[in-house]
Amino acid sequence: MKILYLGALNNYFKQFESDCLRNNYDVIQKESLTDLENIYHDLSIAIVDADFEKSHSSAFVEKIRDYEKKNLITSSIPIIYISENDSIDSREKGFRQGADDFLDKFDSSSILLKINSIIKPNTLWQGINVVVVEDDLISAKFISHVIKTKGANVINFSDGVEAYEYLKGTDEVKVDLILTDHMMPNLSGISFVKKIRNEIGYNTVPIVFISSIENKTEVLDFYKAGGNDYLSKPLIKEELFVKVDQLLSNRFKSKLLERQVNELERVNRVKDQFLAVCTHDLRTPLNTILGLTNLIIEEENIESSTRSYLEQIDKSAGNLLELINELLDLSSLQTGNRDFQLSKLNLVKVIKSSLRNFTAINNKKIHMHFYSSIKDSSILGNETMLLRVFNNLLSNAYKFTPEKGKIFTHVKGDQDWIIVSIEDSGIGIPEKSIENLFNEFSGAGRTGLQGEKSTGLGLSIVKKIIDEHNGYIDVKSTEGKGTTFTIKFSRMKK
């Protein structure tokens, strides 16, 4: 018995193959169906990669179904259509050709679950623990039997109190489903559900209520107590199976997501620490490179070619330093290492001191204009960080504005807000870059008009700092005309 994978021989397949091998399934990979008659009798499932199929303008599912028809095969094999693009179109295409199921290509656990349910239907719920609380022996036996046939473990209790004691000493992760009767001596089903939800604090495990009560208010009480589904007696095997199956597959998925979220959080922390340590250590050798280069440049009797090489080293090392500084800023803002203090400051003063830096280096004769229409520009902020914001925005404006252009910085305000706008007559930002402009590593980093290097990190740092100040930043840009950044800070309450 083999699984046929119709798709490219790539990393995805290798991962899929190893997942299958771990479950003792043999996989064969094909990129065409030319020898279907030789392999068909060995197959138990076919998995068709829709994206591969599309790029090869083929119709694998249809070909398999045609082969079955032509050879009068009545027990056709199940075909799972997988794609990274879950759209109605791709689903429709699969089902129209004759596929049995459609799954997300990268949801490997669902794919394996599906394969398991086809190849080994009696192990569908293997490893699952179900608690059944039922005082009627015949019902209890029936429920246990149905659930056990799919491979789950069943723990039976004839009394709510006993079940409660058991659950109290068990971790919620180890219980996947609880089925409970209502009419029981000692403890009613509703009280039992209330106790496990409220007292033990089980809040994710699904609970199914089994009862012959037809009274709607009582059923409603059960749901209110924290139940998830209801099965009425007499029980029907198929209904029991379908409901339990749905609840369990949701439980699987949420458990899986929880694991993935935890893992992502861990990896993200590692990344932040790595960035913080790494950037700090990267600066140390630069100390020597920049220091010594500068020292030699300042000597008088060196050849002009040597001097120009040294100046290039100095410039490159300077670029590297700027990149590291930006990474360092970003990581310190991200690791929550940000207990920089906020204090009352004069925003106009900060902007002016940043503007002064640019008037000093303004060799493009750009007209830099500043105007403030408010008297009091006090806000609660961190001066170092805000300087970084304005240096960043102004240096962008400078980099992307041609000679003799304009950069207008305007501060205005109303009762609640102080609004700073920085408007340039530069080359503008392409519309497709605007959306991700403030994301880190957006790739939006562009080389300036005089070849200035850019990391693409600057604006994400600006955004983070503005966020820390509970402010807002917005951008409007027209290609060829210019860009305006607008920042809003809340005024300091008097």
| Residue ranges in contact with other proteins by CB under 8 A | 280, 283-292, 294-295, 298, 321, 325, 328-329, 332, 337-341, 384-385, 388
Nearest distance, CB of residue 317 and other proteins, angstroms: 8
Tell me how far apart the alpha carbons of residues 233 and 145 are, in angstroms, rounded to a whole number: 16
Nearest distance, CB of residue 339 and other proteins, angstroms: 6
- Output the DSSP codes for 339-389: -PPPEEEEHHHHHHHHHHHHHHH-TT--EEEEEE--S--EEEE-HHHHHHH
Say if strands 43-49 and 2-6 run parallel, antiparallel, or are unpaired. Answer: parallel
Torsion, Cα of 237, 239, 245, 250 (10° steps): -160
Q: Which is nearer to other proteins, 218 or 314 (CB)?
A: 314
**Token couple for 99:** 């596929």
Q: Which is nearer to other proteins, 284 or 308 (CB)?
A: 284
Bond into 234 cis (ω within 30)? yes
Q: 108, 16 in Cβ contact below 8 A?
A: yes
Q: Which is nearer to other proteins, 169 or 336 (CB)?
A: 336
Q: Which is nearer to other proteins, 131 or 324 (CB)?
A: 324
Q: Which is nearer to other proteins, 318 or 428 (CB)?
A: 318
Tell me how far apart the alpha carbons of residues 51 and 8 are, in angstroms, rounded to a whole number: 10
Nearest distance, CB of residue 279 and other proteins, angstroms: 9
Nearest distance, CB of residue 487 and other proteins, angstroms: 19
**Token couple for 147:** 């659930």
Say if strands 482-490 and 472-478 run parallel, antiparallel, or are unpaired. Answer: antiparallel
User: Beta-carbon neighbour count of residue 294 at 10 Å?
Assistant: 13
Q: Which is nearer to other proteins, 40 or 340 (CB)?
A: 340
In the chain, count of helices (H) and strands (E)? 16, 17
Tell me how far apart the alpha carbons of residues 306 and 430 are, in angstroms, rounded to a whole number: 41
Edge to edge, what strands does the sheet with 417-424 contain?
367-372, 406-413, 417-424, 482-490, 472-478
Nearest distance, CB of residue 337 and other proteins, angstroms: 6
Q: Which is nearer to other proteins, 65 or 463 (CB)?
A: 463
Q: Which is nearer to other proteins, 195 or 388 (CB)?
A: 388
Backbone angle region of 449, left / alpha / beta, with phi > 0 → left and psi within -120 to 50 → alpha: alpha
Q: 471, 456 in Cβ contact below 8 A?
A: no
Nearest distance, CB of residue 283 and other proteins, angstroms: 4
Which spans in 47-159 are helix H? 50-55, 60-70, 88-97, 108-119, 137-148
Q: Which is nearer to other proteins, 267 or 292 (CB)?
A: 292
Nearest distance, CB of residue 287 and other proteins, angstroms: 4
**Token couple for 294:** 């500068």
**DSSP bridge pairs for 157:** 133
Torsion, Cα of 96, 102, 104, 110 (10° steps): -170
Nearest distance, CB of residue 323 and other proteins, angstroms: 13
Which spans in 298-346 are helix H? 304-334
Nearest distance, CB of residue 281 and other proteins, angstroms: 9
Nearest distance, CB of residue 284 and other proteins, angstroms: 6
Nearest distance, CB of residue 298 and other proteins, angstroms: 7
Nearest distance, CB of residue 440 and other proteins, angstroms: 16
Q: How far is CA 443 from CA 2, 331, 447, in A?
A: 44, 18, 11
Q: Which is nearer to other proteins, 74 or 341 (CB)?
A: 341
How many CA atoms does the CB half-sphere of 463 hold within 13 Å? 13
Q: Which is nearer to other proteins, 280 or 406 (CB)?
A: 280
Q: Which is nearer to other proteins, 242 or 278 (CB)?
A: 278
Nearest distance, CB of residue 97 and other proteins, angstroms: 58
Total count of residues recorded for the chain: 494
3-state secondary structure of 196: helix
Cβ neighbors of 86 (< 8 A, separation 6 or more) are 102, 104
Q: Which is nearer to other proteins, 386 or 444 (CB)?
A: 386
